[in-house]
Amino acid sequence: MSHFRSDIRQRAEEAVALYPRPRSAMLPLLHLAQEQDGYLSDQGIAEVAELTGTTPADVRGTASFYDMFHLEPVGKYVVGVCTNIACLLAGGEEFLTHASKKLGCAVGSTSDDGLFTLEETECLADCDVAPVVQVNHRYVRTTTPESFDTMIDQLRDGKLDHDVPSHGTLIRVRRIGGLRASREEVAGQRTAAKAARDARAEGEAK
């Protein structure tokens, strides 16, 4: 029995097919598991282990290396505030304190209503709009306490649903089709390319 919903399972199998080895699909699959459950559940991990030919301990160990994966449930919105150098120079730390007050939860924890999880992040590569805030990995570009509060209120009211899907959903544009160059085609082209290159190299030498 698959823990993944049928659509997620299908996308997972498509992802595996894009790589020369199934294990390579580990990160995409973990993102999918997180898209379904909002975090990495034991069942999600077991299914990823099955799809990648690894063990649950291995999947869990791999996932825990990466900050974006959550092994415990988190809020519907994970709010990340950067305090790294550019944001620090723009008051990122004070901004984080403000966010913590506004959301009513400490950094690294989830608000009582289960809606928000607040995280202090490393540089999010948007340093010209510092301090940088992401919600579910979407840049919300609110650099003042006031605009932050407005944004949070809008999130609460569901007004930003289009821009900010719930936590875990990463890429909403689906790849159309799998690999187009078949294995045989690739093998043929590689042989031909090598032969042609050797021939040219020989021609040059003469």
Partner 1 sequence: MASLDAPRIVSSRREFADSFTLTRYLETGGYVALKKALTMFPEAVAAEVDAASLLGRGGAGFPAGRKWSMLRKSPISYLVVNGDESEPATFKDHYLVEHDPHQLVEGVIIAAYALQVNQAFIFMRGEFALGLERVQQALNDAYAHGALGSKIFGSEFSLDVVVHPGAGAYICGEETALIEALEGKRGFPRIKPPFFPAVTGLYGEPTVVNNVETMSNLPWIVNNGGAAFAALGGGRSTGTRLFALAGRVKNPGVYEIEMVKNTFRDLIYDPQLGGGIIDDKEIKAFIPGGVSAPWFGPELLDLPLGQDEVAGEGSMLGSGSIVVMDETSCVVRAVWRITKFFSRESCGQCTPCREGSGWIERAMYRLEHGGGRMEDLDLLLDLCDNIAPGLTWPPQQTTICVLGSSIPSSVHSAIQMFRDDFVAHVQHGGCPHE
Partner 2 sequence: MSDVTRTTVQITLDGRQVEARSGELLIEAAERAGTFVPRFCYHPRMEPVGVCRMCLVEVDSPRGATLQPACYLRVSDGMNIVTDSEKVKKAQDGVLEFLLANHPLDCPVCDKGGECPLQDQTLAHGSGETRFIEEKRHFVKPIEIGELVLLDRERCIQCARCTRFASEVAGDAQIAFAGRGDLIEVATSPTQPFDSVFSGNVVQICPVGALTAKPYRFSARPWDLEQVESTCTTCAVGCRVAVQSSGNRLTRVLGVDSDPVNHGWLCDKGRFTLESIDGNILSFDPLQATTRIIEPMIRRNGELVAVSWGEALAEAASLLREAAATPGGVGAIGGAALTNEGAFAWERFVRGVLASENVDAQYGDGLDPGLLQALSKATIDEAASAGTVVTLTGDLREELPILFLRLRENAVKNSSSIVEFAFGPSALRSVARVSLVVRPGEAHLVAKAIAGGGLPQGLAFSEEELDETRRLIGESGEGVVFVVGRPNLGEDARVLETAIRTLSERYPDAKFLPALRRSNVMGALDMGLGPNLRPGRGFDGSVEGRDTLGQLDALRKGDQKAVLLLGGCLLGNVVDPAGAEQALDAADVVVVTGHGGATLAYANVVLPAAIQHERSGTVTNIEGRVSAVSPKIVPPGSAWPDVAIAAELAEEFGQSLGLSSVEQTSQTIEETTGYPALSVLNDEVYDGVVVGRNVTPSLRHSLDPMAFPGIRSADTVGLGARTGSTVVTSATGSVNTSGATWSDVHAGNGLEVPLADSYAFRVVLSRRLYDRGVAMQGSPALHGLIPTTSLSLNHFDLDRLGLAHGDVVKVSGAKGSVDLPVALDDGVARGTTEIVFGTLDASGENVVRELVDGSNVITQLRLETR
Cβ-contact 139, 128 below 8 angstroms: no
**Minimum CB distance to partner 2 smaller for 68 or for 127:** 68
The reply on whether position 68 binds partner 1 by CB under 8 A is yes
List 17, 18, 57, 192, residue binding partner 2 (CB under 8 A)? 57
74 binds partner 1 (CB under 8 A): no
**Cβ within 8 Å of residue 3, ≥6 positions away:** 41, 43, 44, 46, 47
Report the residue from 12, 29, 33, 45 that binds partner 2 according to the rule CB under 8 A: 45
User: Cα separations (Å) of 40 from 59, 62, 71, 81?
Assistant: 10, 12, 5, 22
Q: Using an 8 Å Cβ cutoff, are 117 and 79 in contact?
A: yes
Q: Footprint of partner 1 on this chain (CB under 8 A)?
A: 18-21, 23-28, 30-31, 52, 54, 61-63, 65-69, 80, 83-86, 88-89, 121-128, 130, 134, 136-139, 170-177, 179-182, 185-186, 189-190, 192-194, 197, 200
